[in-house]
Amino acid sequence: MSVFTTGPWCAMPITTGESSRSQGTGKGIALNSRGAFLSASTVPLSASPSNVTRRARRHALWMRHSSLADLVFLSLALTAHAQSGLPDGPGRAVVERMCTTCHGLNVVTGQRMTKQHWADQVDDMVSRGAVGSDADVRQVVEYLSRNFGKDKPPAGNAEAAAAPESSVSGARSPSAIRTGESEEWRGPKTGVTFERILNANKEPQNWLTYGGTYQSLHYSLLNQVTPENAGNLELKWVFQARWLDPYETTPLVVDGVLYTMQGDDVVALDATTGRLFWIYKYTPVSEARLCCGRISRGLAILGDTLYMAAVDAHLIAIDAKTGHPLWDTTVAQTTSGYTMTVAPLVIKDKVIVGVAGGEYGIRGFIVAYNAHTGREAWRFYTTAGPGDPGRDSWGGDSWKHGGGSVWATGSYDPGTNLTYWGVGNAGPDYNGDVRPGDNLYTSTMVALDADTGKLKWHYQANPHNEFDWDAVQVPLLANMTWHGQPRKVILWADRNGFFYVLDRATGEFLLGKAFVKQNWNVGFDKNGRPIMDPNAKSSTEGTLIFPDNQGGTNWFNPSFSPRTGLFYLNARENYSTIFFKGPQEYEEGDRYDGRGHHPFGFRAVVGDDDDKYTAVRALDPHTGERKWEFKLNTGNSLHTFEGWQTAFGAAGILTTASDLLFTGGREGTFVALDARNGSLLWKATLGGPMIMNPVTYAVHGKQYIAINAGTSLFVFGLR
Amino acid sequence: MSSWPIRIGLGAIVVSGMLFAQEHGAGPHPKSANEAQVPGDRAHGRAIFEGKGACLSCHRAGDRGSRMGPNLSDIATQRSVDELQKALLDPNREVDSEYRLYRVVTTDGREITGRLLNQDVYSLQMLDSKEQLVVFQKSSLREFNFVQTPPMPSYRDKLSSEEQTDLIAYLATLAGVVKQ
């Protein structure tokens, strides 16, 4: 009795004239060896063809189509052999040839059965169209029972590695739904492995993680588009996301498939045409507390699983091939003000996210989950509480609602095994009276052990900050010569208007240099602690501060080009805010920002628009000196609540190995500049603000550049 | 006074009632399997699902199995017990068109089969039998069509009555994504 079935693609009804059954007739569909319809004829059928052996029928079919079948199956077998990963041994080639016509080999390698069961299974496969001689069948049964017999261990990572089509996890656990109950899982061996992301530079045609590589340089080795031919860029396709909130998602590109988001949904698109493969629809709870819109900055991928940090503080694993959800972990309670906007970061067998919602009195944290099970692996609180180093930096119990949002994705250095994350401002934002002390680790760069989450070092850019200056700019990890010595550094442009260089192994402060007008800092001590202007405090009367609360720059990616040796960012010049503080009591789920009497707690200085602008700036990372500037946006005169996200925003920066720089801004112009000198090479007016990080990728040898503008994703390539 | 208006009125009432019953169910909606009291040995059913029944050769549940056939991860929320039984015994009574096999042949003779995910005038998007997302320009294809979908085999004779019961008991636990 056959107990194994293939999918529908193999069960081709067989029409022969050899049956002598008389149990009834029915319409049979004759197919040629390629499965194309030939004719429909009335043929004798039987529910139980016992009077015509399956092998006789199979033999007849084989003989009838053998020549064509040889060609088809040989080509398929050759392909399968190159990819199957089956254990070596007699019969392997026959298995590949007979089986891969209809299905992948994972359905074989995942089974453990007795020889008789395998024989029945193969018999059934033959009845459904698998083609092979009697000798082939015997070899297949022998091979399968020898390698996948009942006495063999269950399918695990080895089998997953051997069968490239296997499921994402390669988990040892047989759980169908609750994936990977075994905690021995150490990461996938197929799909986008940790090793691939570590070596992302070896496949510049892909964009495997939020920052391009773990170093987050946002620099691509692709060089097909050059300063000489950039003028030939043309629009290739558009994806119109059905979404009206700011479109801040940086896509991933893996082997010709582009993964991005449409609001809260995840979509998989063909990277050459923008056509949809699948969509995963997600509806966050209506109680989600969102200070700044329903935003997602991107996804992560590990193996064949995508990870999405939803705005209602759920982390969701999604099958990258089909869009089916795999698990859903509640990271925090959204009704208490928690949200997530980050693109997750996968490291080894973990997926790491951070929570946001500092304007609602959260206690922020960075948290790692087992990427297979969704169970928590470690957590680092961004406000130091009892037992944490730095607890004394919070007066009373103010740490409980001290904010410390994690708005943007961190970076990872395999050499130090540290992951670097920027932490947001303390809460309440504008009134530090309720939280005396430095308020660690808000407005701080933290370096955490990637395996345990333990704090290795930190650098606080703004102790006791009252200006809403998140330190969540992406840390760029570069190797430079510093004062004549090789040094591994972090390059980091902060919202407070300063460019920093830190030693990424120790956190040693190497440089702090303003890149925009500022009036709060009068220097640094020998450890890099900022020396504040004594007047730089939020007040009930109002205090004028440069830069404004949205900062000299913001969350969007800067870039570092190893070719030019320059650090690039989008800088906001001459923006200022008058900060007012007011009393604030904590109520769960309500805003907790300490605003003053003005409805928004602050107001921008109104001045000439020409004084305020956003510009691409190239800095010498050794000194912080500006090398060149390209004006991107003119100033805006008023902070209005509608569209304020886009009012302050700009795209991130992308640089390439052909010395190109791509970026855009809120005025809707996407530009290609010469990264060496800032000269404009090409531009496209796209009609909507750009507040994401452009990426570049290649498919079939053609380079593409992708940017969101307004509510759509635009993809360009050479004419 | 003619009785025709009365007859027409009564007829309208009857038809309305029939339509209402059709739309809303003449009787109580059957419970989805995950909400029902389902007899059987779930653990044994799972063993059948993953072993003797070879369900994962075509279906997927969680992160295991084939992506070619219908994903069963949340089948218990979508089908009643009765429907699960019928699907086991008479699976071809209802086949989701999304899972019909699709076949293309390129101009250089390569044959690729899989699931058709999307198409337009110019291109096809598929999940091929190696479970790769692939796209074809129709101009590069010699043939592209649905394969006549053969049936999922009936398990009437493949599993004993007790095994069928246990298998359904296990299927009734497949209620979707683990939320934790």
Q: What is the pLDDT of residues A100-140, one digit of tens each?
A: 655 556 556 656 677 877 887 787 666 555 667 888 888 88
Task: Examine the pLDDT at A162 and tell me if it is beyond 60.
Answer: no
What's the gap in Å between the CA of A512 and the closest CA on chain B? 43
Task: Examine the pLDDT at B37 and tell me if it is beyond 60.
Answer: yes
Q: What is the pLDDT of residues A389-436, one digit of tens each?
A: 999 999 999 999 999 999 999 999 999 999 999 999 998 888 899 999
- Please give the residue that has the higher pLDDT: either A6 or A530: A530
* HEC-encoded secondary structure of A651-698: CCCEEECCCEEEEEECCCEEEEEECCCCCEEEEEECCCCCCCCCEEEE
Same domain, A37 and A99: no
Say if CB A1 and CB A12 are below 8 A apart.
Answer: no
Catalytic residue among A136, A468, A593, A674: A468
Q: What is the pLDDT of residue B1?
A: 47
Is residue A159 situated within a structural domain?
no
Contact A11 B64 (CB under 8 A): no
- We report the CATH number of the domain holding residue A122 as 1.10.760
Nearest CA in chain A to B133: A321
Say if CB A343 and CB A298 are below 8 A apart.
Answer: yes
Say if CB A235 and CB A684 are below 8 A apart.
Answer: yes
Is residue A331 situated within a structural domain?
no
The question of whether A468 is a catalytic residue gets the answer yes
Boundaries of domain holding A243: 194-325+339-718
User: Which of A83, A113, A131 is where one domain is finished?
Assistant: A83
Residues 6+ apart with CB under 8 A from B44: B163, B166, B170
Question: In degrees, to the nearest 5, what angle opens at C-alpha B179 toward C-alphas A586 and A285?
Answer: 45
Same domain, A431 and A451: yes
Q: What is the pLDDT of residue A304?
A: 96
Q: What is the pLDDT of residue A85?
A: 59
Instruction: Read off the pLDDT of each residue in A604-612 and give the average, rounded to a whole number.
Output: 62
Is residue A154 situated within a structural domain?
no
Q: What is the pLDDT of residue A7?
A: 34
Paired tokens of A31? 């197919």
Same domain, A383 and A287: yes
Q: How confident is the model at residue A87 (pLDDT cuts 50, 70, 90)?
A: confident
Q: What is the pLDDT of residues A643-657, one digit of tens each?
A: 555 556 689 999 999
Q: How confident is the model at residue A610 (pLDDT cuts 50, 70, 90)?
A: low
Same domain, A505 and A650: yes
Beta strands A219-220 and A654-656: pairing type? parallel
User: Among candidates A560, A565, A588, A350, which has minimal Cα distance to A448?
Assistant: A350
Instruction: Read off the pLDDT of each residue in A279-298 and give the average, rounded to a whole number.
Output: 83
Residues written for chain B:
180
Is residue A667 situated within a structural domain?
yes
Is residue A391 situated within a structural domain?
yes
Q: What is the pLDDT of residue A441?
A: 97
Is residue A525 situated within a structural domain?
yes
Is residue A137 situated within a structural domain?
yes
- Please give the residue that has the higher pLDDT: either A41 or A525: A525
Same domain, A363 and A475: yes
Number of domains in chain A: 3
Highest mean pLDDT among A17-31, A161-175, A281-295: A281-295
User: Which of A32, A48, A83 is where one domain is finished?
Assistant: A83
Nearest CA in chain B to A173: B64
Q: Give the range among A9-23, A59-73, A272-286, A413-427 with minimum mean pLDDT.
A: A9-23
How many other CB atoms are there within 10 angstroms of residue A597's CB atom?
Answer: 10
Same domain, A111 and A54: no
Nearest CA in chain B to A331: B180
String of b and e for A340-363 (b: at least 16 CB within 10 Å)? bbbbbbbbbbbbbbbbbbbbbbbb
Q: What is the pLDDT of residues A188-199, one digit of tens each?
A: 878 999 999 999
Contact B130 A329 (CB under 8 A): no
- Please give the residue that has the higher pLDDT: either B19 or A672: A672
Same domain, A217 and A96: no
Measured in degrees and rounded to the nearest 5, phi and psi for residue A413 equal: -120, 110
Say if CB A148 and CB A166 are below 8 A apart.
Answer: no
Indicate the pTM of the whole model. 0.79
Share of chain A above pLDDT 90, in %: 57
Q: Report chain A's mean pLDDT, rounded to a whole number.
A: 81
Instruction: Read off the pLDDT of each residue in A561-567 and give the average, rounded to a whole number.
Output: 97
Q: Using an 8 Å CB-CB cutoff, list chain A residues near B129.
A: 9, 100, 102-104
Q: What are the DSSP E strand ranges found in A286-373? A: 299-302, 305-309, 314-319, 325-330, 345-347, 350-354, 365-370
Q: Using an 8 Å CB-CB cutoff, list chain A residues near B61.
A: 176-177
Which of A270, A280, A305 should one mutate to test binding to chain B, selecting the residue with the greatest count of B CBs within 10 A? A270
Q: What is the pLDDT of residues A538-549, one digit of tens each?
A: 888 888 999 998
Q: How confident is the model at residue A593 (pLDDT cuts 50, 70, 90)?
A: confident
Question: How far out from the chain centre does Cα B126 lie?
Answer: 19
Q: What is the pLDDT of residue B20?
A: 56
Share of chain A above pLDDT 70, in %: 75
Beta strands A325-330 and B178-179: pairing type? parallel
Contact A256 B135 (CB under 8 A): yes
Task: Examine the pLDDT at A34 and tell me if it is beyond 60.
Answer: no
Same domain, A8 and A135: no
Q: How confident is the model at residue A17 (pLDDT cuts 50, 70, 90)?
A: very low
Contact B123 A275 (CB under 8 A): yes
Alpha-carbon gap, residue A302 to A406, rounded angstroms: 21
Predicted complex ipTM exceeds 0.85: no
Task: Examine the pLDDT at A338 and tell me if it is beyond 90.
Answer: yes
> B113: helix, coil or strand?
strand
Q: What is the pLDDT of residue A146?
A: 86
Q: Give the range among A16-20, A315-319, A501-505, B58-62 with minimum mean pLDDT.
A: A16-20
Containing H/E element for A80? Answer: helix A54-84
Q: What is the pLDDT of residue A128?
A: 53
Q: Using an 8 Å CB-CB cutoff, list chain A residues near B95.
A: 8
Q: What is the pLDDT of residue A44?
A: 31
Say if CB A596 and CB A466 are below 8 A apart.
Answer: no
The dihedral sign for the CA sequence A633, A690, A688, A273: positive
Residue where the block lists tokens 């399997």: B33
DSSP A480-517: EEETTEEEEEEEEE-TTSEEEEEETTT--EEEEEESS-
Instruction: Read off the pLDDT of each residue in A261-290 and give the average, rounded to a whole number.
Output: 92
User: Among candidates A467, A470, A471, which has minimal Cα distance to A459?
Assistant: A471
Same domain, A101 and A222: no
Paired tokens of A344? 């997750």
Is residue A186 situated within a structural domain?
no
Same domain, A124 and A12: no
Q: Using an 8 Å CB-CB cutoff, list chain B residues near A179.
A: 62-63, 178
Q: What are the DSSP E strand ranges found in A36-191? A: 37-44
Same domain, A574 and A627: yes
> A36: helix, coil or strand?
coil
Contact A110 B113 (CB under 8 A): no
What's the gap in Å between the CA of B123 and the closest CA on chain A? 9
Which of B46, B64, B88, B179 should one mutate to test binding to chain A, selecting the residue with the greatest count of A CBs within 10 A? B64
Q: What is the pLDDT of residues A243-266, one digit of tens each?
A: 888 899 999 999 999 999 999 999
User: Which of A112, A129, A147 is where one domain is finished?
Assistant: A147
Same domain, A74 and A106: no
Q: Using an 8 Å CB-CB cutoff, list chain B residues near A322.
A: 60, 67, 71, 127
Q: Smallest Cβ distance to B131: which of A102, A321, A330?
A: A321
- What does the longest C-alpha to C-alpha distance in chain A come to? 102
